[in-house]
Chain A
Amino acid sequence: MARLIVLGGGVSGHTAATFAAKWLGSAHEVVVVTPNAKWNWIPSNIWVGVGQMSKEEVTFDLAPVYAKAGITYKQAKAVSLNPAGNESSDKPFVTIEFTEEGRAGESENIEYDYVINATGPKLNFGATPGLGLGDKLGEYTVSVCTPDHATHAADELKKCIKKMKAGERQKFLIGTGHGLCTCQGAAFEYIFNIEHELKKAGVRDMADLKWISNESFLGDFGVGGLHMKSMGFAVSSKIFAESLFTERNVDWIIGAHVNKVEAGKVHYELLDGDMGEEEFDFSMLIPPFAGVGLKAYGKDSADITDTIFAPNGFLKVDANYGAGAYENWKASDWPQTYQNPTYANMFACGIAFAPPHPISKPMKSPNGTPIGPTPPRTGMPSGIIGKTVAHSICDRILKGEDAPLHEASMAHMGAACVASAGKGLFNGTAAAMTIYPVVPDFDKYPGTGRDTEYTFGEIGLAGHWIKHILHHLFMHKAQLRVGWTLIPE
């Protein structure tokens, strides 16, 4: 009997674990190690953050789902990997520390035949002074990264609406809280959902909304922007985004590295080297992401973390990490199998794999501060990669160690993205977009880097309906209800 351990139970890890359990059956064991008791459909946290959904609507208990799937569930966080065993055993193992009530702090070593690192990110609030400490959110801003954060954000938003109704003008500042953030899409959704809610509450004229982000142009979204087919033109996402911001009267600051947050004020540095300050009454700033801090040890207990993990803490996979300058970047730099180059039984998926480089062109201020989005590995690509990695491992367990690995390069993969711009069955809107491929291939598609036959976007009520249906479909799928395997990632 082989044992597969999946570290992390987010979108990617949960997909990998559930498909692996289905394909392997009871002859082999799948173990999920995740510190959380609940699964969270993160995209809908935006609606929790404006009070349009409850925390309970976007989460469910993992234990009964894993029991149904025959998956061994450990509510714990992974601490370290020993991919070659230790002095007393050749068997690789993971050291975990329980977070479950009643066992908190207990440690256990679990041996494995295969391991998938799907830990997701550490929310690195501590990277910006005042934004938080370590992975803990600070007191000056709010966040929609977790259901609890989003619930808190909704409460703070309610207080602002109350003040506006009482005649007090409020300033909203939404965006990224560091020069190297990703997930601009989530902040984009949040600012337009706030704008929509303020209109509904009848206080839009009492609010000033401002966007602050590390993108070098509006509509970069961490993927270097995109050109969408519209009215016979290939239209840049910059035009699309600037149009929406102007229509909804949202001001913007771009190319900004937020370097300090205080009560009611952020300090930032711009790509041109200028320094600025911006005041706010309500601010949601996405933190930068980092690896969760897993360590790795050799058989002789030597620290081999640097061998397995990139400096940012994400797991090295079959990517080309030596591409160098932007001019040398190729679509082929991006990983295909997500296998660790040192240990063949170790894989990564979702945010936990180390990308070879950003997708957007990297930029620095004259002061040498890097300011630019890091590449997104969330949403649909993370689900597809999780399933692909599970497929490869299951083949190796069932067919032998020489079974070919499956591939899912983000440079060959398309993605559908629906960004909510306001919730409502008849007056909601969302930007529905597809992008193909996710990582631009300028050799194959000179000019835009993407196939404009398959890259499109439009805003409207239809997009909102799709977003709402996707919420229910993915909650259904993740709970392994009838027909879950038929719903694409």
Chain B
Amino acid sequence: MAQKHGEENIKAYSKNFTTMTPGPFAKWLRTNLIFQFIRFIVINIKMLVVVGKGH
């Protein structure tokens, strides 16, 4: 059976039936070095803004 990236763990009408699971592209992006490098910069800027509001 093909890997469904988490879909296969959903059990019909169980407590996890109403959640969402990532598709293959979303999972690939999580460890894609170029995309993650961009996100690294974006997240750092966002965090610095929030940290600045607390100081």
Contact = CB atoms under 8 A, between A and B. Distances in A.
A413 interface: yes
A460 B29 contact: yes
A367 interface: no
A239 B20 contact: yes
Contact of A239 (B19, B31, B40, B51): B19
A174 B9 CA distance: 19
Contact of A461 (B20, B22, B31): B31
B55 A247 contact: no
A243 B36 contact: no
B43 to A, nearest CB: 5
Interface stretch (A7-15, A327-335, A428-436): A428-436
Interface stretch (A81-89, A301-309, A451-459): A451-459
Interface string B17-39: 01111100000011111001101
A246 B16 contact: yes
B40 A465 contact: yes
Interface on chain B toward A: helix, strand, loop, or mixed SS? Answer: helix
A246 B9 contact: yes
Nearest to A456: B46
Q: How large is the interface on A (under 10, 10 to 19, 20 to 34, 35 or more residues)?
A: 35 or more
B46 A434 contact: yes
A261 B50 CA distance: 41
A460 B46 contact: no
A248 B8 CA distance: 10
A186 B18 CA distance: 26
B54 to A, nearest CB: 4
A466 B43 contact: yes
Contact of B33 (A243, A252, A414, A426): A426
Contacts of B44: 466
A63 interface: no
A239 B19 CA distance: 6
B32 to A, nearest CB: 8
Contacts of B18: 242
A488 interface: yes
A458 B39 contact: yes
A435 B51 CA distance: 10
A434 B6 contact: no
B2 interface: no
B1 interface: no
B12 interface: no
A272 to B, nearest CB: 13
A246 B14 CA distance: 11
B47 to A, nearest CB: 4
Given A242-B19, A432-B47, A466-B44, A461 B30 contact: yes
Among B10, B30, B32, residue most surrounded by chain A Cβ atoms (within 10 Å): B30
Nearest to A249: B9
8 contacts: A247-B21, A249-B6, A252-B15, A384-B55, A426-B33, A454-B50, A465-B36, A488-B55
Closest 3 CB pairs of A and B: A247-B6, A414-B50, A242-B19
Given A246-B21, A461-B30, 19 more contacts: A243-B6, A243-B20, A246-B6, A247-B5, A247-B6, A384-B54, A413-B53, A413-B54, A415-B50, A434-B50, A435-B50, A458-B43, A460-B36, A461-B31, A462-B36, A462-B37, A462-B40, A488-B48, A488-B51
